[in-house]
Amino acid sequence: MELLWRLNTERGITVLMVTHEPDMAAYAKRVVRFVDGRVASDTSNPHPIGLKAAAALVEESA
């Protein structure tokens, strides 16, 4: 997950991940939920896990 996060933030690569795992979805900046093939919700994640991990990496390298 950290690799996908870095590709997105450092290189601007868009990552589309499909999962049923809430702990993996917690890394996403945005979560789109589908029910019966239709968008049920489309929400922004104000506190993605990846932001915390990325901040820790910046602090370690300083």
pLDDT digit of tens for each residue in the chain (62 aa)? 888 888 988 999 999 999 999 888 888 889 999 999 999 999 998 888 876 666 666 566 66
Q: Smallest Cα–Cα separation from 51: which of 31, 18, 26, 16?
A: 26
Dihedral over Cα of 34, 39, 40, 46: its sign: positive
| pLDDT at residue 57 in the model | 61
Q: What is the pTM of this model?
A: 0.64
| pLDDT at residue 36 in the model | 97
Provide the number of structural domains found in the chain: 1
Question: Which range of residues forms the domain containing residue 47?
Answer: 2-61
